[in-house]
Chain A
Amino acid sequence: MAATLVALTSARSARADTRPVSVGPYAQVGIGGQAMIGKAKQHAAKGSNFVLHAGTDLFKWFSVGGRLDLSNHEATVPAPPTGEYMQFYGLAGEARLSVNIGPVAIYAEGSLGYSAVSTNILEKVNILEPGQRFSPTLGGGGGLEYQLQNRHYAFGLGGDWVMYQKFDRIQAVSVLGQLRYTY
C-alpha cells in the first residue's frame, strides 16, 4: 500500500515537474484590496485595487513589462466633507524575477511609474499641495503563482507596495488574486 502511494506521488510529482510553461508575451490581471499605511492610514479607508500587467518574458526567470493600477478609497479626512471617494490611477514600467519550483513560481517585482489622484480632497490634510494631482511612484512586490496544466495560464496571490513620491511620500500596500496568461 505504502509503496503504491509513493509510486503514485512520484508519478504525480514527475508530471508536475515536467508541466510545460509558456515563455513569451504575457498579460495579467489582479483584483484585491489596498490599504494606506503610515501617515495616510487615517485619511483613506481600505479600498479596492485592480491591476493590469502586460509585457514579455525575456527569459523563463526574468520579465519586463508595464502595469496599470486603479484603486478606490473613501477619504476619511476631518469633516466636512464626509463619505467622499477618491481614486488613484497608476501607470508604471516593471521588471520581475521568478523562480519555478515544480508548478509553483515564486516571484518578486519592482516598478517605477507615474500616478494621478482623482480629486484634491487630500489637500485638507496637507498630503497634496494645491493643484497637485500627479506623482512619480516607486513600487515593489512579490507572490506565488500556480501553473495550470494548460501551459498558458497561471493563478497567483501577490502583495504590492507603492510609494507616491510627491504626495508627501504616502505609501500603500495591497493584496491581489491574479490570473496570468502567457502567449
Chain B
Amino acid sequence: MHPIKIVSSLALACIVGASCTTDPVYVDAPDNLTAGGPNADPDVPATTTLTLPIRLEETKEAEDRAALAAELGVEVPFIAVDDMAMSLEWNIRNLGDADANVRILLNGANEYFAYVPASFVVDPEEEPEPPPLLGDIPLQVPAAGSLQGVFREDQMREASIDLDLITRGGQNPFRAMLEIDEDITEIEVLDGTPIPLKAVAHLIRLDLTLLSDQEVVLEYAVRLRSKRTPNLVHEEGLSAAAGELTVFAPVDYVPPPPEDPAP
C-alpha cells in the first residue's frame, strides 16, 4: 500500500475513533459535605443531594419510549439502567487531631421513586433500618490526613437495579442489597407485568450522608458516560440554564403496610 494512502487511512481512523468514544463528563459536587464538627448535632447527619444534569428529552426519543412502553406493557424511563455509566469518586479530609471513624451512605432516586431507608421502619425500637443502596462501610481517616475512594460504575449500576427491585418490584430491601442482581434480565412484579432490563430505571439523583466522630469534609465528583447519542448529560453540566435540564419529580417510596396475619 502506498505510504500516502496509509497515512490518509490512519488519519481517518483517528478521527472516526476519536468521535466514536463515549468520553466521560465530570460533575463536580456543588458543595462539600462537612460532618462531626464541634457545632454538629450528633442526631442530625450531614446530607447532600445531587441531581444529575440530564438534558431535555427529544421528541423522537419520547415517541420511541412511548412505543416501547406500549410494546412492553410497563413504564419505560427516559434514562434506563444501561443508557449511562456512572461512578462517584470521593475524598475525605480529616480536620481533627484524632483518627476519624467515618461512614458514607449513598442513597438516591430514579425517575419514579426515591429510596429512603427510614420509610421501611415501622417500629424503630424493634426493627433495624435497611441498608443504603451503597456504602455504610467503616472507614478510618488518619488525623489531619485524607482518604480517597470510589463507588464504581458496576456498583452504581447494581444500586440502580436494586432501587427498581425495591420500588416497582416490591422486593425486600435487605434481600435486594444482599443479592447480586447484575445479570438479571427482568424484574418480577407481583401480580404485574415483569419489567425487562431495558425498562429498569437508572439513578438520576444521589443522596449522600456522611457520619463521623471527628470533623471531616467530604469532596466528591461524579463521572458520567452516556451510552446514547446525543449525550444524555447536558454539556454545561450543573451550570446549564434551568429550562435546559430535565426536571425529575421522584416520590419517596413508602412500602405497602405489612399484611395482617390471617385471623
Contacts and interface: CB of A to CB of B under 8 A. Distances in A.
Interface stretch (B14-22, B77-85, B135-143, B194-202): B14-22
Contact of B8 (A28, A54, A119, A152): A54
B249 interface: no
A120 interface: yes
B258 to A, nearest CB: 41
A118 B91 contact: no
A27 B7 contact: yes
A80 B220 CA distance: 6
Interface in B233-263: 234-237, 239-240
Interface string A84-116: 100101000000000000000000000000001
Interface stretch (B24-32, B44-52, B96-104, B164-172): B24-32
Interface residues of B, number: 31
Contacts of B239: 130-131
B4 to A, nearest CB: 5
Interface in A132-183: 133, 152, 181, 183
Interface of A: 25, 27-29, 50, 52, 54, 68, 70, 79-82, 84, 87, 89, 116, 118-121, 123-124, 130-131, 133, 152, 181, 183
A80 B3 CA distance: 44
Contact of A29 (B7, B150, B236): B7
Interface string B189-210: 0000000000000000000000
Interface of B: 3-4, 6-8, 10-11, 14-15, 18, 21, 23-26, 28, 89-91, 148, 150, 219-221, 223, 234-237, 239-240
Contact of B24 (A54, A68, A119, A123): A119
Contacts of A29: 7, 10
Given A70-B18, A130-B236, A181-B4, A81 B219 contact: no
Interface of A is mostly: mixed
A70 B223 CA distance: 23
A2 to B, nearest CB: 43
Given A68-B14, A70-B14, A120 B26 contact: yes
Given A79-B219, A80-B221, A68 B11 contact: yes
Contacts of B25: 119-120
B3 A79 contact: no
